[in-house]
Structures are given as structure tokens and as C-alpha cells.
Amino acid sequence: MSDFIKINRTDSAATHASVILTAVNQARALKETLDKAIAIGYHNFTGSDFTDFETLFGVPPTKGQAVFDILNGGKNSMEGTQQTDALITLMNQIG
């Protein structure tokens, strides 16, 4: 028995099935984007020096580690390895 839940896209009564499917697709895209940002980030700081990270990502000076930690916390939260509000922080404090 599979734990995969299939959303019925063809039932005419399922007028809001696309809302769930959009959320699923956006969550997958966010996970892929966080993975990419973290992978790039890990190659662009040394110890506590985030200057290269800040330059590559357009982050203000001295804010590189904070941004990296928020991205990494969001990724960990999505993977279920850490309980954190980093995704909320990402949405509300960065932009």
C-alpha cells in the first residue's frame, strides 16, 4: 500500500484541485531553489568570512551569515531535520 495521495484532477466537482497541486509544485520548486542556494553558498564562504557569498547573492555586507543560516534553516525545516521558523523569516525579512 502506498502512502501517496493522488488528487483527482478530472472530477468536475473537484473545482479546487489545482490549488493543492499548485502548492505541491511551489513547495518542490522552493526545495530545489534552497538546495541550489545552499550548495553555492557552501563553496563561497570561509569560516566566518561571508564576503564572497554576500557579493554573489547581493547580500549587504555583514549580513551573509544571517542570510545563509536562514536559507539553511528553511531547507532543514522542509527536510524535517530541524524545527524552525526560518521559512517565515525568509518571507518576512529578506527581499
Could you tell me if residue 20 is inside a domain?
Answer: no
pTM: 0.86
- Which domain does 58 fall in, by range? 32-93
For 63, the grid coordinates are 549580513
| Within-domain flag for 51 | yes
Question: Cell for 17?
Answer: 484541485
Quick: pLDDT tens for 21-57: 999 999 999 999 999 999 999 999 999 999 999 999 9
Query: Looking at the domain assignment, is residue 22 inside a domain?
Result: no
Is position 44 within any domain? yes
Q: What is the pLDDT of residue 49?
A: 97
pLDDT value, residue 9: 87
Residue 52 lies in a domain: yes
Give Cα separations from 1 to 4, 5, 9, 61 (angstroms): 9, 11, 21, 52
What's the number of domains the chain is made of?
A: 1
Task: Please give the share of the chain, as a percent, with pLDDT higher than 90.
Answer: 94
Is 24 inside a domain boundary? no
Q: 17-32 burial, b for 16+ CB within 10 Å, e for fewer?
A: eeeeeeeeeeeeeeee
Phi, psi of 68 (to 5 degrees): -60, -45
Q: Is residue 9 part of a domain?
A: no
Give the per-residue pLDDT at 89.
95
